[in-house]
Amino acid sequence: MAIIEMQETGLGDLTDTQSSTSRAGTSAEPSNAVMRLRRPTRARAESSDVTALCLFVLVVTLGLWWQHGGVTSIIDGGIDRLRAFGQLTGLIAALASLGAIILTARPAFLERKYGFDHLLAAHRWFGITTVIFVVAHSVIGTLAWAALAQLSVTSGLVDLLANEAWMVAAFVSTTLFVIIGLSLYRRVKNALAYETWYFLHLTGYLAVLLGFGHQLTLGSDFLVDRIARWWWIGLAVATLAIVIWSRIGVIVRSLRGRLYVTAVSLEAIGIGSIHVNGPSLRRMRISGGQFFIIRPLAKGLWWQAHPFSVSAAPTTAGIRFTIKELGDDTPNLLNVKPGTRVLLEGPYGVFTAEQAAGSPVVLIAGGVGISPIRAILEDCGPEQRPILIVRLRHEGDFAHRAEIEDLIRARGGQLHLLVGPREWFAARDPFAVQSLTTMIPGIADRHAFICGPTSLESAVVKGLRKSGMQSSNIHLERFGV
Amino acid sequence: MGTLARRLAPAAALGGLAIAIVGLLDPALAASRLPAGDDMTAMTPTDTVARQGAASTATCDSAETVTGPIVTTRWGPVQVAATIAGGTLCEAHAVVWPTSERQSRQISTDAVPELDAQATQQGVMLDGVSGATYTTEGYRDSLQQLLDSL
């Protein structure tokens, strides 16, 4: 491991000046100076609670719609049927948008349970549902309005926009949702720089806000029925409270954290480690394998937030993140000067050794996916007989190789290296049932931890499932969706 | 332009445009939500009387009831009746209001009592009920014609 930059920072409260080399590999064993950080508390919410709450909100909302004659109108037919469908699609769109906002706010009670990656995946589905139902609602609503007023569709639309409160806002909101929906297409997303896409995506908050007005003024459901009205306002206020508490609270906490970069080291080609410490570190609860969203407070870097995994057992001597520089045109994160303040948002994720609960494990990493896998390996005991499979394009891409070999040896585990370009493995798939069962004895009783490119993850999951592993024993980290 | 500015620009432009359009064009943010009809611009003496609000209880005891014309609105007919004493409005109430559609029905059951109260207080210059724009318009129109006919 080559240390490319290492210096004392001269900050008064920097008590730990341990070099990054001595941290490597052996830091899990607490000495009198270095103590392991406490692990995060378990999530209090049960899956059934969350499901029950979601169902409750859905049933009450649709129940109010039913009570206001929604179902009767649909059965009776006529113009009212069109309007009832318009209301139904609108209600679903609004609920889905609130759900998407709550999911992306990643409040701790959900994040500890499901992990950031699953919340993001769910956010995506809630978001797509929102866009589809917003468009359907706009079309059906306009048609219904025009039919009721006995106007042509165009005049009906003009009438809505010109005369009804918050309807211009509602149509601007629809336009924003459509733009956000289009930006989800892989091609569009890839054509944009990540932050350009991210900032555009943030206009979704504006879209939800602009859509709210007409829900109260135009929809008779919330205009007349006071209970319905307060229910609806209550849902919006609750969502707002979760967003403020969860998003803004995180920023405040990280600003008060007073953490900074103590060292940056190069681990492999394009892969490096950032070491972070600070006075607030001792109070943090972190498990190896979790990740943080890191913002270095340096010129050109502070507004770029990227998720990075904790790659070694976190101790009072500091946290180590192992990252890959993607060769973007942005200032390089690995060039951050020691002493630079960083904002850490997290820890996030449930990709930790605790998931295995002491069972035997197999760890599978692709490329820089080795980062959280390395930390999980460190948290495994010899009784878990860890088997590590590392898939790399080049042997030089293997970060933390020496540490990992030491950890494997200390635990009596095995290391399988699969090195070479993809074409080499085209003929004999290393993740086919036969090769997996050969490499992994007792495969059915093991827990699997997988981190790497999506293609690798899906190939491995498929192979493991076919080899008889239960899906509840397979753990993935999919951050950066 | 820095990298941040370049990446923020599309979102900022989109958000700014959205807010500007809503701010300039949305009826909710226009100065007056309710349309000012022709009948409002030409003030007649009757309007002035009607606007002065309720006459004293004593004169209202001997008030006569007058019914305004049926005004057809988009959602259905509106007709207002009023008790008048000495050319002054004592009390107004709708006798016909839109009930044809479910939504109109709901709006009317909530909006009509409110309009009655407003008309009794404020006469033809009543504030109106937001969300019941057309019913308000019809109400005002019928009441105006009622007062004009005195």
**pLDDT single digits (tens) A49-74:** 899 999 999 999 999 888 877 888 88
Give chain B positions within 8 Å (CB) of A210.
Answer: 18, 22
CA distance B141 to B135: 10
Per-residue pLDDT at A473: 95
* Cβ pair A259, A281 in contact under 8 A: yes
pLDDT at residue A164 is higher than 60: yes
CA distance A384 to B148: 94
pLDDT at residue A230 is higher than 80: yes
CA distance A417 to A401: 11
Of B18, B101, B102, the CB nearest to A210: B18
What pLDDT band is residue A123 in, cutting at 50, 70 and 90? Answer: very high
Per-residue pLDDT at B67: 86
Among left, alpha and beta (phi > 0; psi -120 to 50; other), residue A476 is beta
A144-158, A187-201, B63-77, B79-93: which is most confident: A187-201
What pLDDT band is residue B65 in, cutting at 50, 70 and 90? Answer: confident
B31 CB near a chain A CB, below 8 Å? no
Q: Write the DSSP symbol of residue A278.
A: -
A290-304, A454-468, B53-67: which is most confident: A454-468
Of A445 and B1, more confident: A445
**pLDDT single digits (tens) A342-400:** 988 888 989 999 999 999 999 999 988 999 999 999 999 999 999 999 999 888 889 99
B87 CB near a chain A CB, below 8 Å? no
Pairwise CB contact (< 8 Å): B7 & A168: no
Give chain B positions within 8 Å (CB) of A206.
Answer: 15, 18-19
The CA distance from B142 to the nearest CA of chain A, in Å, is 20
A155 CB near a chain B CB, below 8 Å? no
A209 pairs with which residues across the strands? Answer: none
pLDDT at residue B47 is higher than 50: no
My answer on whether omega of the bond before B113 falls inside 30° of 0, hence cis, is no
Pairwise CB contact (< 8 Å): B102 & A80: yes
Q: Quick count: other Cβ atoms within 10 Å of Cβ A449?
A: 29
CA distance A18 to A8: 10
**pLDDT single digits (tens) A274-323:** 999 998 888 889 999 999 988 888 887 888 778 899 999 999 999 999 98
Q: Angle A16-A18-A20 (CA atoms, 0-180°, nearest 5)?
A: 125
A181 CB near a chain B CB, below 8 Å? no
Of A167, A202, A218, the CB nearest to B11: A202
B18 CB near a chain A CB, below 8 Å? yes
Question: What are the percentages of helix, strand and coil residues in chain B, rounded to 5?
Answer: 55, 15, 30
What pLDDT band is residue A477 in, cutting at 50, 70 and 90? Answer: confident
Instruction: Report the amino acid identity of residue A29.
Output: E
What pLDDT band is residue B38 in, cutting at 50, 70 and 90? Answer: very low
Of A233-247, A445-459, B84-98, least confident by mean pLDDT is B84-98
Q: Give the residue among A347, A342, A309 at the shortest CA–CA distance from A38.
A: A347
By the 10 Å C-beta count (0-12 exposed, 13-18 middle, 19+ buried), B65 is classed as exposed
Q: Give the residue among A361, A365, A262 at the shortest CA–CA distance from A311.
A: A365
* Cβ pair A351, A477 in contact under 8 A: yes
Pairwise CB contact (< 8 Å): A224 & B110: yes
Q: Angle A265-A268-A271 (CA atoms, 0-180°, nearest 5)?
A: 65
The CA distance from B93 to the nearest CA of chain A, in Å, is 20
Mean pLDDT of chain A: 86
Q: Quick count: other Cβ atoms within 10 Å of Cβ B72?
A: 12
Residue-by-residue DSSP string for A236-277: HHHHHHHHIIIIIHHHHHHHHT-EEEEEEEEEETTEEEEEEE
A390 pairs with which residues across the strands? Answer: A365, A417
pLDDT at residue A253 is higher than 70: yes
The CA distance from A180 to the nearest CA of chain B, in Å, is 10
pLDDT at residue A15 is higher than 60: no
What pLDDT band is residue B113 in, cutting at 50, 70 and 90? Answer: confident
What pLDDT band is residue B105 in, cutting at 50, 70 and 90? Answer: low
Per-residue pLDDT at B103: 59
In this prediction the ipTM stands at 0.75
B5 CB near a chain A CB, below 8 Å? no
